């Protein structure tokens, strides 16, 4: 990390004192600014006050649980959310991804892994080229990092935006889930393909005319996904 880079600010919502303290310690040492909250309600309040760059959210919380916090954040904000799940029971992961999380980490989490995920998620918002592409009514402006549909701005999370950018960079070419996991999530070879599926679903809900019968982001059976300009 360069010295000029602004220090990313995180919000850690975790009810267990020991984990909160330990993770705060670990993440601070990795060079993040960390604010912490012990409950979902506190976390939502802190979110409004501090406007962090990213949220690390425990699933099992007293009061409103992590999924609900996630859903409430998504109503207004598109900032990245990483879920901290105690069980990698699949139901947890799926519900988490459906409620709008960008990535998840299973406890007992290693600080280094969490750090890597945080940095990968944050990188998704970085701009890299300065052209634009048009797919039907959809216009992707890579310099402004905005996507408009019929002239209206779409609210995309950095992950959704990155996924759309990677797909639009290779129009008409099918990308496998594992490829997308490497390109967008920067996961190693063991990425969870459900991350891709959940994100594609959310993206379709925003960019497609009829999300249930997509014309832009097509499923390529046995391979993955492809971005097509509608005929």
Partner 1 sequence: MTQEHQGGTGGWSAARKGVWSRLRFTSLRLRLVVVFGLVALTAAVSASGIAYWLNRESVLTRTQDAVLRDFEQEMRNRAGALPEHPTQDELQRTAGQMANSSQRFTVLLVAENPDGRTVYGSSGGLNGFSLRDVPVSLREAVTERQRITSNNKSPHHLYWQRIIDDDTPYLVAGSMVIGGGPTGYMLKSLEPEAKDLNSLAWSLGIATALALIGSALLAHAAATTVLKPVQRLGAAARRLGEGKLDTRLRVSGTDELADLSRTFNKAAEALEKRVADMAGRDEASRRFVADMSHELRTPLTAITAVTEVLEEELESEGGGIDPMVEPAVRLVVSETRRLNDLVENLMEVTRFDAGTARLVLDDVDVADQITACIDARAWLDAVDLDAERGIHARIDPRRLDVILANLIGNALKHGGSPVRVAVRECPAEGAEGMEGAEGAGDGGDVVIEVRDHGPGIPEEVLPHVFDRFYKASASRPRSEGSGLGLSIALENAHIHGGEITAANSPEGGAVFTLRLPRDVSARGASEKTGDNGDEGTEEDAR
**Which is closer to partner 1, CB of 109 or CB of 140?**
109
Distances (CA, A) of 170 to 75, 167, 212: 31, 6, 23
Report if residue 188 touches partner 1, rule: CB under 8 A. Answer: yes
Which residue matches tokens 């609210």?
A: 155
Report if residue 94 touches partner 1, rule: CB under 8 A. Answer: yes
Report if residue 144 touches partner 1, rule: CB under 8 A. Answer: no
Number of residues that bind partner 1 (CB under 8 A): 47
Among 45, 51, 87, 123, binds partner 1 (CB under 8 A): 87
Report if residue 183 touches partner 1, rule: CB under 8 A. Answer: no
Among 72, 194, 206, 226, binds partner 1 (CB under 8 A): 194
Q: What is the DSSP letter of 181?
A: I
Helix (H) / strand (E) containing 103: strand 103-106
Report if residue 204 touches partner 1, rule: CB under 8 A. Answer: yes
| Beta strand pairing call for 217-220 and 81-85 | unpaired
Among 10, 12, 23, 140, binds partner 1 (CB under 8 A): 23
CB under 8 Å to 227, separation ≥6 — which residues? Answer: 135, 164, 167, 168, 170, 171, 172, 216, 217, 218
Question: How far apart are CB 141 and partner 1 at their closest, in Å?
Answer: 26
Report if residue 189 touches partner 1, rule: CB under 8 A. Answer: yes
């Amino acid at each position: 990390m360069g010295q000029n880079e602004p220090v990313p600010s995180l919000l850690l919502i975790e009810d267990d004192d020991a984990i909160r303290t330990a993770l705060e310690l670990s993440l601070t040492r990795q060079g993040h600014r960390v604010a912490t909250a012990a409950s979902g309600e506190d976390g939502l309040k802190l979110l409004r006050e501090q406007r962090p760059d990213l949220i690390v959210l425990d699933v099992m919380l007293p009061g409103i649980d992590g999924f609900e916090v996630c859903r409430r954040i998504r109503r207004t904000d598109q900032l990245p959310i990483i879920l901290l799940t105690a069980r990698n029971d699949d139901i947890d992961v799926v519900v988490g991804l459906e409620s709008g999380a960008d990535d998840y980490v299973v406890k007992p989490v290693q600080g280094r892994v969490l750090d890597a995920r945080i940095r990968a998620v944050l990188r998704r918002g970085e701009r890299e080229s300065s052209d634009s592409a048009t797919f039907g009514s959809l216009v992707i402006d890579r310099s402004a990092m905005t996507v408009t549909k019929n002239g209206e701005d779409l609210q995309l999370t950095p992950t959704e935006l990155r996924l759309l950018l990677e797909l639009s960079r290779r129009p008409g070419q099918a990308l496998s889930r594992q490829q997308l996991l490497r390109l967008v999530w920067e996961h190693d070879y063991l990425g969870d393909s459900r991350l891709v599926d959940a994100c594609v679903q959310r993206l379709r809900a925003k960019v497609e005319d009829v999300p249930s019968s997509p014309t832009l982001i097509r499923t390529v059976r046995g391979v993955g996904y492809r971005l097509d300009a509608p005929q």
